[in-house]
Structure 1
Amino acid sequence: MEKLANNATKLLEALSYQLIVTLEYCHSLVEGQTLWLEVYGDVTVGGKVQVEVKNFADDLTDGHINFWNTLKNWVTPKFKQEKYSELVLLTTQKYGATAQLNHWNQQSVEERLSLLENVLADSEARLAASGKKPSKSVQAQQFVMAEERREALLDVVEKLKIVSAEPDLETRASEAKSRYGKGLDPSKRGDYFEALLGYLIEPGMVKKGWTVSYEDIDIKIATLFARYGRNSRKFPSIDSASFQDQVDVSAYIDRLFVKKLHEIEYGQKVPAAILEHIVAVHTINQEFRRFTVDKIDVDGYKADQLKRHVSLRAGAIRLCRRMPQEYWCEESQGFFDARCGESVDCFPAFDNTSVDFRNGIWHMLADDEDEEGKEKLHWRLW
């Protein structure tokens, strides 16, 4: 596909990059601290640091608009630079070959101010020689260096730190997944990382002023670790809808668990049964790999489920036989519905177990042929 002339790819990349930087600062919060996103600037940690994030490919030169616009934002009257001990320009840009900004972090306040004055002087000299109107960069330089803003500028210049040549979006995301994914199952680090980023842009977060406290992020991390951590006690969370496209009734028409539903004239339940069967198989074959779940655990759970089912079905059969035979299918359908509505027995080592998985186990059991002297799972009450 051709990109539209006004496509927003670059904007989305910039926002994604800023969110990852925000996530990094969330992890650096200490008890009692609060972080703001896009309220006072790109990323703000109350009483500590204000960060402007730039995701650009071109070189950072002495007159670059990114640098001067950042200074402009920080010397405006509405910005209270006195509230912060550090002001950071974080950019993916590398310094240009002749950029004096390359020495900024090692310079004194006087040297930094002199550098800024020289940049403006050079810009205005070129402007006078060309006779052109000042560019946005030069306008920002003139605004910043105006005498009436000198006191604010001196405070900003003293606190400003430039962090340049930062990793690109893909690299930063990969490093963040690795850095903050310690203790997680490796296959779930991506899910964990995406969940944290999603948390930062939840509508509820925006409504409360896009602020994250130490306590907020502490609770969120604990919740996600309970889900994605190695040997977590939280049962694997499966999005059943993601398997919906695999539900092909025609492909399952000869499966025994499907035939057993048709046997009680309950074909309308077949698509849901197929989906539950798929979820159970996926959970056992894929999700359980990141836990200390052995085959003996799965076999034990299935055996317990079959034993309980056989007992309940035996009682239901005795009641059903008291009715005329024309009602037996309807009674069997009721038995199926009642069983599916029962509370779920927890799988060993987990605090909870999903209904889809439990029902899927039943369909797996129903897919087994009867053995001599041992009946498998049936829904019919005859």
Structure 2
Amino acid sequence: MSGGQTKNAALTTALAFHYQMLIGLDKCFSLEEGQSVWFEKDGDVSLISPDAFASTQTEVKDYAAPLTDHHENLWKTFKNWLDPEFDHTKYGVLVLHTTQAFGTTTRLKDWNTISSEQRLEVLKAIFSERTDEQLSADKPSDVIKLQKVVMASDELLLKSVLGKVTLFTQADNAQDLEKQIHSKPVGIPRNNLNSYLHGLVGFVYAEATQQSWSIKHHEFVAKCEELTALLCKKEFTFPVFSGYEASEFEVESHQDRPFVQKIAEIEHHEMIPDAVGNWLELQNSLIEELHESALYKDKTITYQNQLVKRYKLSHSSAQLEATDVIKSSKLLYNKTIGEQPLNMGNDIPPIEYKNGLIHDAMEDEERDLKWKVEP
């Protein structure tokens, strides 16, 4: 596999199969009416069209080593396409799709621009490098076995197959393929693109049966429309707030921040972990690379100003009613933190977002806000 070998053979196989699936999924975006993508029909991935000339069969390889004249991937693929059970007449194009780059000395670099006769001559030149000793060995290497089968094929069949072959090298790896699929949908916010991809991946895997595995054009279009309708936001919505609980280390790390000191000032120490958690969750939401991050930050500033106005009114009322400084301060804190958030348009923000903004406002020296109530 590209990026280094894993010792876990099952995982290696699974990742290779997933890469194959991503290639098929990417091809689904180019489907036209009446066409379909098939997995494991005549090989790895097949695009089947009513017009055989427009049909393609693709063998998928995800390898780091270069594609050389004697590489097994090349010769094994040719052998598969020459197999009597494979009907090449059903396809107009046969593609070896590999992440490999051409080797520095390979004769294959001009493959896609030369005729079938010239391609055959290239293979003959490569095969001629094999010595009689290598060819007649009792236990020849796997690639020599493949080369002997390919070069022993009927020459007319060989030229017919070679004429359809395209070598697609240095193909995108799995991560790049996912990025490419992310670029396909229109109108879906960036932070929903992973959900879109996962929805399509799940759809493709779910179409596999014991008998066949194919994705038809109309089925794929319907799934794309369904996911787009689900994930295309019509109005601004907030990122998820989970009510993050600050650890002891995080509380200790932020104990000198003004908002923490102002809670300690009113001896409300048991409230500090939640306050630090809300404040941290807010800060993290503001630095995330959200599709609507600019709008989110702008709305956050406006919303915080509204919260500060409401808080100042509550603080003024608490001062008028205060009899005991600490008790009145704690009651103000509890009332403010427990209040339901103000609406923002049609949305009600998460309460952790609201509280995080209040604690953040306590950090502002110019606002000079505090929990302490002095009659």
TM-score (norm 2): 0.62
- SS in structure 2 of the partner of residue 161 of structure 1: strand
The match for 2:166 is 161
Give the aligned residue type for 2:114.
Q
Residue aligned with 1:87, SS: strand
After TM superposition, give the deviation of residue 277 of structure 1 in Å.
1.3
2:58 is aligned with what amino acid? V
Aligned pairs for 1:69-108 (under 5 A) are 69-76=76-83, 81=88, 83-91=90-98, 92-94=100-102, 97=105, 99=107, 102-103=110-111, 105-108=113-116
Indicate whether 1:280 and 2:279 are aligned: no
> After the TM superposition, which residues 10-49 of structure 1 pair with which residues of structure 2 at under 5 Å, given as runs?
24-25=26-27, 27-30=29-32, 34-35=36-37, 41-47=43-49, 48-49=55-56
The equivalent of 1:58 in structure 2 is 66
One-letter identity of the residue aligned with 2:166:
K
Provide the rounded CA distance (Å) in 2 between the counterparts of 1:351 and 1:206. 36
How many angstroms apart in 2 are the aligned matches of 1:359 and 1:211?
51
1:18 Cα deviation from its structure 2 partner: 5.7
Aligned equivalents of 1:46 and 1:312: distance in 2?
A: 69
In 1: Cα distance, 2:304 partner to 2:266 partner: 23
Name the SS for the 2:253 alignment partner: helix
TM-fit CA distance, 1:119: 6.0
1:180 alignment partner, one of 183, 186, 189: 183
Report if aligned partners of 2:315, 2:332 keep a CA contact under 8 Å in 1.
Answer: no
Superposed CA deviations along residues 103-136 of structure 1, whole A, max 9, x for unmatched, are 455313x6656765776677584534x5342321
Cα gap change, 1:124 to 1:46, in 2 (>3 Å): farther
Give, in angstroms, the shift of residue 282 of structure 1: 4.4
- Deviations 1:124-151 (Å, cap 9, x if unpaired)? 84534x534232123223445676x999
CA contact (8 A) 2:38 2:47 kept: yes
Q: Secondary structure at the match of 2:60?
A: strand
Structure 2 counterpart of 1:302, which letter?
Answer: Q
Give matches, 1:258-337, under 5 Å. 258-259=260-261, 261=263, 267-284=269-286, 291-293=293-295, 297-308=299-310, 335=335
SS at match of 2:166: strand
**Distance change (3 Å), C-alpha of 1:366 and 1:28:** same
Kindly tell me: are residues 144 and 356 of structure 1, through their superposed partners in 2, closer, same or farther at Cα, counting changes over 3 Å?
A: farther
Question: How many residue pairs were aligned?
Answer: 356
Deviation at 1:264, TM superposition (A): 7.5
* Paired-residue identity, %: 25
Query: Which residue identity does 1:64 align to in structure 2?
Result: H
Q: What SS does the aligned partner of 2:96 have?
A: strand
- Confirm or deny that 1:360 pairs with 2:367: no
Q: 1:82 to 1:107 in 2, by over 3 A?
A: same
Indicate how the Cα distance of structure 1 residues 83 and 259 shifts in structure 2: closer, same or farther if over 3 A, else same. Answer: farther
Shift in Å, 1:7:
7.4
SS of the residue corresponding to residue 90 of structure 1 reads strand
**Cα distance in structure 1, aligned partners of 2:351 and 2:85:** 55
The one-letter amino acid paired with 1:90 is: H
Equivalent position SS for 2:101: coil
Maintained 8 Å contact 1:362/1:377: no
For 1:120-269, list aligned pairs within 5 A.
Answer: 123=130, 125-128=132-135, 131-144=137-150, 156-164=161-169, 166=170, 173=176, 180=183, 206-209=205-208, 213-217=220-224, 233-236=236-239, 248-259=250-261, 261=263, 267-269=269-271
Distance 1:206 1:252, change over 3 A: same
Q: Which sections of structure 2, spanning at least 5 residues, go unmatched?
A: 50-54
SS in 2 for 1:345: coil
* Aligned counterparts of 2:48 and 2:320: Cα–Cα separation in 1: 71
* Compared CA separation, residues 267 and 30, structure 1 to 2 (3 A): farther
One-letter code aligned to 1:85: G
Question: CA contact under 8 A between 2:241 and 2:353: conserved in structure 1?
Answer: no
> Counterpart in 2 of 1:345?
343
TM-score, normalised to structure 1's length?
A: 0.61
8 Å Cα contact 2:275/2:356 also seen in 1: yes
Distance 1:307 1:57, change over 3 A: same
Alpha-carbon displacement from aligned partner over 1:201-254 (angstroms, at most 9, x marks no partner): 66x753443877344456657877769xxxx9454568987x968962123334
Q: Which has the higher helix share?
A: 1
2:60 maps to a residue whose letter is V
Conserved in 2, the CA contact under 8 Å of 1:335 and 1:379?
no
Deviation for aligned residue 1:4? 9.5
Going from structure 1 to structure 2, the CA distance change for 1:293 and 1:115 (only over 3 Å counts) comes to closer
Contact residue 23 and residue 197 of structure 1 kept, 8 A: no
CA RMSD of aligned residues (A): 5.9
